[in-house]
Amino acid sequence: MPRYQAPLDDIRFVLEDLLDVGQEANMPGFEEMTPDIFFQVIDEGAKLCEQVLFPLNQSGDAEGCVFDQGEVRTPAGFKEAYRTFAEGGWTGLACDPAYGGQGLPELLNFVVEEMICSANLAFGMYPGLTRGVHNALDLHADEAIKRRYLPRLIDGSWSGTMCLTEPHSGSDLGLVRTRAEPAGDGSYRVTGTKIFISAGEHDLTANIVHLVLARLPGAPGGTRGISLFIVPKLLPTDDEGGLGARNEVTCGAIEHKMGIRASSTCVLNFDGATGWLVGEANKGMRAMFTMMNAARLAVGIQGLGLAEVAWQNARAYAGERLQGRALKGAKCPDQPADPLLVHPDVRRMLLTQKALIEGGRALAYWVGLAIDRAEHHPDPKVREADNEFVALMTPIVKALLTDIGFDVANLAVQVFGGAGYIRESGVEQYVRDARITQIYEGTNGIQALDLVGRKLPQNMGRLLRRFFHPVAEELAAVMAGADPVLIELATPLAKAFGRLQTATTTIAFKGLEDPDEAAAAASDYLRLFGLVALGAMWLRMAKVVQARPDHPLAASKLATARFFMAKLLPETSGRFAAIMAGAKTVMAGAAAAL
């Protein structure tokens, strides 16, 4: 049977020792968020995840959701768990206090989301989507819509979805055909079909609020003519949560999926459903990107959470499973064989997992802190810098951490061997669950295109400086110092950072002449960037424990940092070579030859 324990020691190390979470309390609105309060909330979240959500993960996957005449039933135990979750205030953790939210830092929300995703990703989809709807409405809806919907979304009595994809329109939202006709009373009649709608129908909440992309009559073609509408499953009768007639939106089917089987993924049919415009007409993409950008970061956290639980199970199994003898002689002569941990290749896999997870956690939480600074720091220059940093890192966090989630889960199966391929072990579920994270909210290839096509050239490359400058300064300071351990770690990172700088310049110039050059290099470039970012986090973590050799994680952090720099960072050489090779071998030849 699988196991999960929230990694509280490493979470505390990243928050307290690496990022100085105490600075949150210095920001307006967060004055009460001292480290003690921060960790009290995290401890309670860990108990919820370990004791309530995790026990339902494997059974929820086995049972899945059931579709019956337009209604969806979630697996046994989910309704009770959701009630506990909502009553505990977890649905409104980082939501607007003006409408009943707790208004806690986004960094804290990142930590709780990671634990939820480790414990039960399919369950986490339901409140996760609701939080995205909250964000979009909070920023773009008028006061009447906010007053009617936000309190219910925040207290968890209602839930939300984002309805983008149509049978003919996936990543290219400019092809959306769903239409919205004015009804003459300020509302609209929305008609069309949306597919792959996570949490589109279920039995967890009294109402489901859909955010739907649709076209108004005479709207321009492409994305310039898309508007955003709020379409509830049940029509509200007042601002106090009263519910009236069923709206003309129905679930036509649920998908039978590879993973996250306890999360209902629906076909939704809108047949003249009543809806209301959110924001300005034909400006729906701006509002939807508010939701999508937050969702992309949340999906990155999903990858991190799945990686953590997969590694925990692989590490435990490798310590218990007796198989073969150590090459230098028996380590456990009183046993019939040594544990898997003695074998170099098993250690390689476990250290790879550990290095990617702990580096990824540090990177994700750094971005979470930057979100709080961008929204709450009193200095406008700091807010601007952190906002640009978050924009730059969003595609990297989404793509890198979801790739890590899948790779780590896959390695967990390999550590288990044949037992990992069997459902009883639980680790094969993590592979299946992780696979979707590389696809939804914009495939990882699209994240790479966003990085090279939008983020690199934005404001004449100013976004890049938000990452490049602090890394360059840190490397220079370490190399000018006298600590041989830190210099040992910084030397390969400096070389990888140089490759990233050269690749950035090459893509920028080649892309101006031929867009295919930038696009063909995009995925390799994002991976190169991500590896350098992980390396930068490992150097920072090494600096922390070098200054505190008595820290309980000091030996582990230094050993893992050395492993990352020696065994994983060299991947940057291959990625760099692929980038410099250009687009010719990718684009040459007729399509028929593919």
**Known catalytic residues?**
441
Rounded distance, CA 561 to CA 568, Å?
10
- Which residues does residue 197 pair with via DSSP β-bridges, in sequence order? 266
- Which residues does residue 209 pair with via DSSP β-bridges, in sequence order? 160, 232
Please choose, from the candidates 91, 12, 2, 10, the residue with its C-alpha nearest in 3D space to the C-alpha of residue 54.
2
185 DSSP 8-state letter = S
Query: How many helices and strands in the chain, by DSSP H and E?
Result: 17, 11
175 contacts 169 by C-beta, under 8 angstroms = yes
- Which residues does residue 181 pair with via DSSP β-bridges, in sequence order? 189
Tokens of 68: 């019956």
Helix (H, G, I), strand (E, B) or coil at 386: helix
Q: Which ranges of 18-176 does DSSP label H, i.e. alpha helix?
A: 35-48, 57-63, 78-87, 106-140, 143-155
The burial class, CB within 10 Å (0-12 / 13-18 / 19+), for 238 is exposed
Helix (H, G, I), strand (E, B) or coil at 194: strand
Rounded distance, CA 158 to CA 133, Å?
11
Tokens of 414: 């390999």
Contacts of 303 (CB under 8 A, 6+ apart): 360, 401, 402, 403, 404, 405, 406, 434, 437, 438
Rounded distance, CA 124 to CA 266, Å?
17
Rounded distance, CA 190 to CA 175, Å?
16
198 contacts 264 by C-beta, under 8 angstroms = yes
Rounded distance, CA 391 to CA 267, Å?
32
Q: Between β-strands 179-182 and 188-198, what pairing exists: parallel, antiparallel or unpaired?
A: antiparallel
- Which residues does residue 268 pair with via DSSP β-bridges, in sequence order? 194, 251
Please choose, from the candidates 265, 276, 148, 151, the residue with its C-alpha nearest in 3D space to the C-alpha of residue 211.
276
